[in-house]
Structure 1
Amino acid sequence: MRYDGKLYRALNPVHAREPLSGRGAELYGGRFNPKGVPALYTSLSVMTALREANQVGTLQPTTLVCYEAEIARVFDTRDAAALAEAGMDAAGLADAGWRERMRADGEAPTQALARRLIAAGHHGLLVRSFAAGATGADFNLVLWRWGPAAPHRLALIDDENRLSRAHPPESG
């Protein structure tokens, strides 16, 4: 499938100056990217982005950003037949033990799925959110390829250059 529209991401303010970086996911791995593979975890709604960024405890300081996206090759996990053909099912996507599997086996099944989809030429994955409080209507778009031009254009919306003017407080 193709995705055209707005995407949202809630960032730790420490990383807000690099809203197009997938470096954290690359360093540590995520549910849908193995270590060493950059990924940008975005959401289709503001509330989903906030839930994703604040999954533990009380709401923490967060910087919310919005992107304009035109992503040509998105794997849609709502298609059960395509998901089965890719070697996965809905229960596997939702497996809360993916981190333990990554530690024990070196790669979680959802990360292996991502590796196969990337090799097949997909730029991203549309998948429901598994964050606390999310419903079946809350979706994320995990991007493995993004940039300033087609076929996987992602542009930060920051018309007033607010992020470039933001400076961390001085200590003293």
Structure 2
Amino acid sequence: MHFTGLLYRAHNPIWSRAPLSGEGAARFGGRFNRIGRPALYTSLAPETALREANQVGTLQPVTLVAYRADIGPLLDGCDPAALEPFGVTPADLADPGWRDRMLSGQPVPTQELAEAAIAQGFAGIVVPSYARGAPADALNLVLWAWSGKLDLVDDDDRLGLRKS
């Protein structure tokens, strides 16, 4: 699977100066990356990105960005047949207990899937959004290898990232 088009991310403003780093995910771990593994969690629609960034409580400040992407190969996490060789199901991907397992030092099946997919050369995985209230067709693209495959859309340098 390959994706070409726009991706979106609602960053914590702390990371707005490094929107391509994946360091927040590396520092704290995520559903599809263990602590220490950089990952970029993106969405195929801006409203999905906003839901993903504000899953708990009241809306918090975010910096919404877009990326032009041309990236692959991608694992199709929406296709049970694509997941089968990794020994996981769509229900495993949706399991809300992943964070508790990570914080208690237990194996996290979705993180193990990510490591196995990375070892097989996948740049990322397409998955449904598991954010509360997300429609059934809301999709995310979690990236593990994106260097040279994504460009931040910031034509007017609003983030002030261009080198002089």
Q: Write out aligned runs for 1:38-117 (5 A).
A: 38-117=38-117
* Deviation (angstroms), 1:134: 0.7
| 1:80 maps to amino acid | P
Where does structure 1 lack aligned partners over 5 or more consecutive residues? Answer: 166-172
Q: How many residues align structurally?
A: 161
* Deviation (angstroms), 1:106: 4.0
Q: Which residue of 1 aligns with 2:158?
A: 162
Question: Would you say the 8 A contact 1:123–1:146 is kept in 2?
Answer: yes
| 1:133 maps to amino acid | G
CA–CA distance in structure 2, aligned partners of residues 87 and 136 of structure 1: 23
| 1:160 maps to amino acid | D
Q: Which residue of 1 aligns with 2:147?
A: 147
Percent of matched pairs sharing the same residue: 55
* Deviation (angstroms), 1:129: 0.5
CA–CA distance in structure 2, aligned partners of residues 54 and 60 of structure 1: 7
Question: Would you say the 8 A contact 2:74–2:125 is kept in 1?
Answer: yes
Question: Would you say the 8 A contact 2:8–2:49 is kept in 1?
Answer: yes
* Deviation (angstroms), 1:159: 0.5
Question: Would you say the 8 A contact 2:12–2:63 is kept in 1?
Answer: yes
Q: Which has the larger radius of gyration?
A: 1
Deviates more, 1:104-113 or 1:41-50: 104-113
| 1:75 maps to amino acid | L
Q: Which residue of 2 aligns with 1:168?
A: none
